């Protein structure tokens, strides 16, 4: 496939931004608000390496292109 025309790319990115902003404007559901309110009650384990949170490059995760 040929590269996307610059103007079209701008339109695409504008739409992508719109999708994201609409989702980001939505109110958080009660379940997440409750979670945040009760976060202090969550028992925090002593530091232990996690493959999913050990840093930005910690988990290559095998997602295919």
Helices (H), the chain: 6-25, 30-37
41 contacts another protein (rule: CB under 8 A) = no
| Minimum gap (Å) between residue 12 Cβ and another protein | 5
CB 3 within 8 A of CB 9: no
Q: Is 3 in the site for another protein (CB under 8 A)?
A: yes
- The count of residues interacting with another protein (CB under 8 A) is 51
Distance of CA 19 to the CA centre of its chain: 14
Tell me if 11 sits within 8 A of 19, measured CB to CB: no
Sites of contact with another protein (CB under 8 A)? 1-5, 8-9, 11-13, 15-21, 23-26, 28-29, 31-32, 35-36, 39-40, 42, 44-45, 47-65
């Amino acid at each position: 496939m040929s590269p996307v025309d610059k103007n079209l790319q701008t339109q695409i990115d504008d739409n992508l931004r719109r999708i994201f902003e609409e989702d980001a404007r939505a109110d958080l559901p009660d379940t997440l608000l409750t979670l945040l309110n009760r976060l202090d009650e969550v028992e925090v384990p002593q530091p232990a390496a996690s493959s999913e949170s050990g840093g930005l490059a910690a988990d290559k995760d095998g997602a295919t292109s």
